[in-house]
Amino acid sequence: MPINYYIFLSLALFCIGIVGVLTRRNAIIIFMCIELMLNAVNLLLVAFSKMHHNAALLAGDATTIAGTDGQLFVFFIMVVAAAEVSVGLAIIVMMYRNIHSVDVNFLNRLKH
Amino acid sequence: MGITQILFWFLSIVAIFSALMVISSKNPVHSVLWLILTFFSISGHYILLNAQFLAIVNIIVYAGAIMVLFLFVIMLMNLNKETEPQKHKWLRIAGAVAGGCLLLVLVAALKDTDIKHQQALVNTGGIGLIKNLGKELFTTYVVPFEISSILFLSAMVGAVVIGKKE
Amino acid sequence: MQNVLQIVYLIPLLPLIGFLINGLGRKHLSKSMISAVGCGSILISFALSIWVFLQVKGGNVHTAHYFDFISVGKLKIPFEFKIDQLSSLFLLIITGIGFLIHLYSTSYMKEEKSEHFGRYFSYLNLFIFSMLLLVMGGNFVVMFIGWEGVGLCSYLLIGFWFKKHEYNKAASKAFIMNRIGDLAFLIAIFWLIAKLSTVSFDEVFTAANIAKLSSLDITVITILLFVGATGKSAQIPLYTWLPDAMAGPTPVSALIHAATMVTAGIYMIARSNILYSLSVIHAMGGEQDIRNMGGLSKKLKITFITFLIGCIAIAGIPPFSGFFSKDAILLSAFIKNPVLYGVALFAALLTAFYMFRLLFITFSGKFRGTHDQEHHLHESPPAMTIPLIVLAILAIIGGFVGIPEVFMHGGDKLGEFLSPVITEQEHHVSHATEYMLMGLSTGLVIAMIIFAWFKFRNYQRSEATGFGKVLENKWYVDEIYDAAIVKPIKKAGTFFSQVFDNKVIDGMVNGVGRLMQYSSRQLRLVQSGQVGNYVLLMVISMVLIFVIQFFLRK
């Protein structure tokens, strides 16, 4: 597949995630949108890794493992995302416990 | 158009549609379900790219663990109603316009890149298989791997500390 | 071997030292001491000037270069004195008359307190110093320093009795009027620097440099210099400060302002005469001096004779000095243009009329003061009369140095002496015409005197009417200035101070503050603490950065 397609697909998903972050007030939905953006990036990384692999094969190296690091990056991103989700959801739970809402508009203490 | 292309377009449309539904559904539980669908379609893309390991991990970690965690939290808070207060109308429009602008700008910027004629290898290629990735992960990337386990541990401790009632 | 004239710096230095001693020590020195310092410094300068004059007469012309005054890039303005025929002559006039003024002042000002006496003499010395700097300066810049110094001293002297408000106003008026001329002078200097990048007389007046100037340059520079001269010499249209300048101590008003300061303008024009090439000028220089000698006389009470001589000299009756200089002017004017001649003749007649009117009013008819004043009348002390007599004698014989050729072949000694400096046009008028013109003017002048005699013989103070009133009010020029310049400027000033200043300037200043307050208040809203807003701004900034990065940077 042409790499352009993957680029535009990832961009679309990423921007949908951004729009979600911008338009919603529910902290959990915002968090989910962030996960969506991470996944868009992951998809693009895998696509690039296959692109590099393809380029290396075309160059004549039949036993190449070029592009492996791209997929390993995706793996690490998933690790970090999982850790992030656990901490983030804990924070949201605590926030709900304190103000009985997950509305980010109540989180304006930075102002004061 | 071969089966690969058809699959690609189908998965893309499903991913984008379900992503849009994630941000547009009023009920958070529906959002979670649409997001799981999105992750499944992305996993389908991974399979298409012959990255089976990542496809499985994506389903297990994201669609399985993470989204279930989300679902748990939502149900725990009893948020599965359409009670979410809406943002101001103009703010929502501004957000949508800003996101759209970003998409437009990035597409316009990237549509003429040098790599646009390159192909991503689909259906074949062994780098996405567990054999190759595991070898690389436990040789070249062994230190980051161990560090990530420490990160997990600390995240777990943090989550417990934060979530603990005082 | 250095030229002996290198020591001419002593001539201005002595009055400067006198100024410092008198100015700083005015509270401690006795009056006689102050007089000695004030007069002595000028006397030595005068003696030096005579020596310099003799040197110059012997053919020793020198430009004394002392140090670089301004050195910017290629432009170098040295501090230098130029000693030639013209400046040596003016040195004589200034130090000579200056000395007489000082002598006269010792007596005139003796009623003043010692402190003010010292102040007065320090001003006078500074004045002489400035005048000397003006005439000795080897370039336009040094000349300008003296020029400004003269203006300053004139201001100080006119406002000498600073406790009287109107004197202060007169001083300010003189100062401001002079500024107009000074500005023109300054612009002319800048113009010269821009065109020739030199201001030295020796370099500016070379044929090569003159050729560099376009006719427009020359016209503008000469006009500007002339405006400068009119300001300093109190000529039309910048003359109105002169009558007001009489507010100062009499010797100042009568002498300094007339005798020396007025000549400053003439000197400047004469110095730049290559640019003008008008033969009228040197004659005018002579005329002004003599008029001023007469001007001194007119302030004296009892010395009727000197007064009369002064009047006659100014009126231009042969063989007194005024006659020849006036005649020279009239002749030059006639050569140039008969209309000009008519105007000049009319002016001469008015001068004669005015002087004799003054004479008759002062000395004939009944005494118009109170008895008390009459009682106090007395002959002036010798210190006052002697300078007057000297001046009167000068007034009588002064003209003979400039006798036209028609009377005595080679008699025009003044013109001959100055010829190296002043390029004179040839007179091409037959002797018969010259005689005729002289006869005409003299006859008219005498007729005018007789007219004045009949008119003012039994003069009693009364309201002037008609033309007399116009004259009494200085031709209403002050009023015209008032209406045409002062009032509009005042109105504009009021407008600016009340409307422009309040609304625009204050508005701008306050507006900046208010804008800051307003914008900060609005910007504060951005810091809402709402995460959503921050993210929105973040995204917008990202869009902008991408736009700049990808599209605008190409």
CB contact under 8 A, B86 and A25: yes
Q: How far apart are CA C193 and CA C415, in angstroms?
A: 31
Please check whether residue A11 lies inside any domain of the structure: yes
Q: What is the pTM of this model?
A: 0.48
The answer to whether C538 faces chain B, any CB pair under 8 Å, is: no
CB contact under 8 A, B107 and A84: no
Q: Choose, out of B119, B129, B130, B157, the residue to mutate when testing the contact with A (most A CBs < 10 Å).
A: B119
Q: How far apart are CA B127 and CA A6, in angstroms?
A: 18
Please check whether residue A112 lies inside any domain of the structure: no
Buried b (16+ CB within 10 A) or exposed e, C516-525: eeeeeeeeee
- What pLDDT does residue C425 have? 44
**Which residue type occupies C471?**
L
Give SS3 for A23.
helix
Digit-coded pLDDT (tens) for C157-177: 777 777 777 777 777 777 777
CB contact under 8 A, B98 and C536: yes
Residue C512, Cβ neighbours under 10 Å: how many? Answer: 10
Digit-coded pLDDT (tens) for C36-73: 888 888 888 888 888 888 887 777 777 777 878 777 77
Q: How far apart are CA A37 and CA A21, in angstroms?
A: 10
**Which residue type occupies C461?**
R
Phi-psi region of C403 (alpha: psi -120 to 50; beta: other; left: phi over 0): beta
CB contact under 8 A, A108 and C536: no
Q: What is the mean pLDDT of each run of 10 residues along chain B (166 residues)?
A: 87 93 88 92 92 90 87 80 68 87 87 77 80 88 91 90 77
Q: What is the CATH number of the domain that holds A16?
A: 1.10.287.3510
Question: Sorting pLDDT into bands at 50, 70 and 90, what band is A12?
Answer: very high
Residue A23 lies in domain: 3-106
Spans of all domains in chain C? 285-367+378-462, 482-552
- Give the mean pLDDT of C120-137: 83
Q: How far apart are CA C20 and CA C34, in angstroms?
A: 11
The answer to whether C525 faces chain B, any CB pair under 8 Å, is: no
Q: How far apart are CA C551 and CA C554, in angstroms?
A: 6
Q: Answer yes or no: is pLDDT of C361 > 70.
A: no
Burial of C369 (0-12, 13-18, 19+ CB in 10 A): exposed
Q: Choose, out of C543, C545, C547, the residue to mutate when testing the contact with B (most B CBs < 10 Å).
A: C543
CB contact under 8 A, B91 and C536: yes
C531: closest CA of chain B, how far (Å) = 12
**Closest Cβ–Cβ partner in A18, A104, A112 for C531:** A104
- What pLDDT does residue C303 have? 41
Give SS3 for C113.
coil
Residue C107, Cβ neighbours under 10 Å: how many? Answer: 18
More confident residue, C382 or C177: C177
Residue pair C261/C154 in contact by the 8 Å Cβ criterion = yes
A55: closest CA of chain B, how far (Å) = 8
More confident residue, C496 or C463: C496
DSSP H or E segment with residue C75: strand C75-83
CB contact under 8 A, B116 and A48: no
* List of chain A residues whose C-beta atoms are within 8 Å of the C-beta of residue B160: 90
Q: How far apart are CA A112 and CA C535, in angstroms?
A: 19
Q: Choose, out of A108, A109, A112, the residue to mutate when testing the contact with C (most C CBs < 10 Å).
A: A108
Give the number of domains in chain A: 1
A110: closest CA of chain B, how far (Å) = 19
Question: Sorting pLDDT into bands at 50, 70 and 90, what band is C467?
Answer: low
The answer to whether C59 faces chain A, any CB pair under 8 Å, is: no
Q: How far apart are CA C98 and CA C101, in angstroms?
A: 5
**Closest Cβ–Cβ partner in C536, C543, C546 for B95:** C536
| Helix C215-233 with C262-271: angle, nearest 10 deg | 160
**Closest Cβ–Cβ partner in C532, C536, C547 for B105:** C547
Q: Choose, out of A16, A111, A112, the residue to mutate when testing the contact with C (most C CBs < 10 Å).
A: A111
C516: closest CA of chain A, how far (Å) = 21
* List of chain B residues whose C-beta atoms are within 8 Å of the C-beta of residue A89: 69-70, 73, 159
Digit-coded pLDDT (tens) for B68-107: 888 888 888 877 666 666 667 788 888 889 889 889 888 8
* List of chain A residues whose C-beta atoms are within 8 Å of the C-beta of residue C530: 104-105, 107-108
Q: Which chains does chain B touch, 3 or more C-beta pairs < 8 A?
A: A, C
What is the full DSSP assignment across A62-92? TT--TTHHHHHHHHHHHHHHHHHHHHHHHHH
Question: Sorting pLDDT into bands at 50, 70 and 90, what band is C304?
Answer: very low
Residue of B nearest to C548 (CA): B105
CB contact under 8 A, C529 and A111: yes
B116: closest CA of chain C, how far (Å) = 17
Q: Choose, out of A23, A37, A42, A93, the residue to mutate when testing the contact with B (most B CBs < 10 Å).
A: A23
Question: What is the ipTM for the molecules in this complex?
Answer: 0.90
Q: Answer yes or no: is pLDDT of C188 > 50.
A: yes
Residue numbers of C between 524 and 553 with CB closer than 8 Å to A: 527-532, 535-536, 539
Residue C193, Cβ neighbours under 10 Å: how many? Answer: 16
Q: How far apart are CA C514 and CA C504, in angstroms?
A: 14
CB contact under 8 A, B91 and C532: yes
Q: Answer yes or no: is pLDDT of C241 > 50.
A: yes
Digit-coded pLDDT (tens) for A20-78: 988 888 888 888 999 999 999 999 999 999 988 888 888 887 777 888 888 999 999 99
C495: closest CA of chain B, how far (Å) = 49
Please check whether residue A111 lies inside any domain of the structure: no
Q: Which residues contact C218 (CB under 8 A, 6 or more apart)?
A: C210, C275
Q: Answer yes or no: is pLDDT of C78 > 90.
A: no
Name the CA dihedral angle for C198, C202, C207, C210, rounded to a multiple of 10 degrees. 40
A38: closest CA of chain C, how far (Å) = 16
- What pLDDT does residue A46 have? 92
Report the share of chain C in percent with pLDDT over 90.
0
